[in-house]
Chains A and B, each alone.
Chain A
Amino acid sequence: MTRPHASGECEMTLLVQADFDGELDAAQAAALAAHRADCPICQAATESLGRVRQALREQAPYHRAPAALRARLAAQAAPRRVPSVRAAGWRRAAVSFVAGGALAASVMLAVVPSNAPGLPDQVLAGHLRALEPGHLEDVMSTDQHTVKPWFDGKLDFAPPVKDLKADGFPLEGGRLDYLDGRRVAAMVYGRAKHVIDLYAWPEAGADAAPSVTERDGYNIVRWRQNGMALWAVSDVERDQLVDFARRWRTMP
């Protein structure tokens, strides 16, 4: 630690750095080169800059966007248009993470009659994305009194958080998700080894009874209750998901 290094002071060091970063024009660079020839501090600084750059570019990870994120954004930009080949490709790429390409393609491209085109696709895509490691919950807690306040300040509405542990569907946590370009609450419930995502967001209209949509092994049960749209999605059996919805609706 006795040898001098690049932290010594010279009024030209910021110019040395600018030169190193390719920000000087030819005349400035030439003038600086003349100075540097006589300045050990600036010589050391140049070497140090090179070492740091090399280390950063070799060792600091460049974090590329996950395919699932890209897929969601592509879908979000154009959910109501006829899916372009490109967008469909992105969606396939995303879902194949967890579901295998062929299955995913048939899931995502299936045409389902619905009064909200695109939404079942988005709900399912969100669910599948959440199944990737580390994505399931933003807040992990089996306590609804922890999960509920966690949403405060993150959403412009208060999602109804209920624990159905006594009914065999323990609450495991919650996370934020995005559907149709808006933030929604996702509550995560367990059912043995399976996961049920329950999405909630405000929706005007009278209460509506549950209806079931099935997509290649994934079931979606949706209903409206107290001005809130509720969509449950899971790979549990259809009857179990319907049972979940029934118990959730009737719980105070």
Chain B
Amino acid sequence: MGRIDGGRDFESLVLPHLDAAYNLARWLVRDPVAAEDVVQEAAVRALTYFASFRGDNARGWFLQIVRNAAYASMKLDRGLRTVPLATGDETEAAAPEPVDPADDPEHTLLKTQAHAGLDRLLAGLPVELRETIVLRELEELAYKDIAHITDVPIGTVMSRLWRARRLLAEAAQREAVP
């Protein structure tokens, strides 16, 4: 494999940006396990290519790889269906499950009003708007870095940010009105 004697360099390039990588992957593929696979895949790619990395923006470089891996994964998964576990006898009896919030209307209501609402609104944005707003508001990246990672001109970043924010503002306002 491509790790050879550069392990130290790879670690210092990639590992400090793992939270950013996972957060981006998680918001793109919207599933914790798939997001781990995406980051893992991106790390394998980064390991292969990092010898050719020239620059000072390791975070942008790695996030670009993560984004590409996430898109590849979403393409791959399209059309694949998840097969539910045939609920047989002993297989279910593992760890005690947390109480399903859906069983408790009050809890559900509270949750919807706080996190779940915005969480869901953001998750429901078209993917190109979602990635742009996540990189801006959660990663606090500059326009030029977002443009680099998402491979579009800065003007497109600006218009996507604007659309994303407007959609969120409008949706939030709709939710706030009973």
Contact = CB atoms under 8 A, between A and B. Distances in A.
B74 to A, nearest CB: 14
B72 to A, nearest CB: 11
B85 to A, nearest CB: 4
A6 B21 CA distance: 32
B15 A74 contact: yes
Interface centre among A76, A175, A180 (most CB of B within 10 A): A76
A18 interface: yes
Interface residues of A, number: 63
Interface in B39-79: 39-40, 43-44, 47, 76
Interface in A37-67: 48-49, 51-53, 55-57, 59-66
Contacts of B22: 63-66, 69
B92 to A, nearest CB: 11
Interface string A189-220: 01011000000000000000000000000000
B148 interface: no
A134 B33 contact: yes
B176 to A, nearest CB: 10
Interface in A136-194: 137-143, 146, 150, 153-154, 170, 172-173, 175-176, 178, 180-182, 190, 192-193
B166 A73 contact: no
A101 to B, nearest CB: 20
A72 interface: yes
Interface in B134-178: 136-138, 142-143, 158-159, 161-162, 165-166, 168-170, 172-173, 177
A138 B40 CA distance: 15
Contacts of A153: 76
B80 interface: yes
Interface residues of B, number: 63
Contacts of A21: 136, 143, 161
A229 to B, nearest CB: 16
B33 A138 contact: yes
A7 B1 contact: no
6 contacts: A55-B172, A65-B22, A77-B14, A135-B36, A172-B85, A181-B47
Interface of A: 1, 5-7, 13-14, 17-18, 21, 23, 48-49, 51-53, 55-57, 59-66, 69-70, 72-74, 76-81, 133-135, 137-143, 146, 150, 153-154, 170, 172-173, 175-176, 178, 180-182, 190, 192-193
Interface of B: 1-3, 7-8, 10-11, 14-15, 18-19, 21-23, 26-27, 32-33, 35-37, 39-40, 43-44, 47, 76, 80, 82-86, 88, 90-91, 93-95, 114-115, 117-119, 122, 133, 136-138, 142-143, 158-159, 161-162, 165-166, 168-170, 172-173, 177
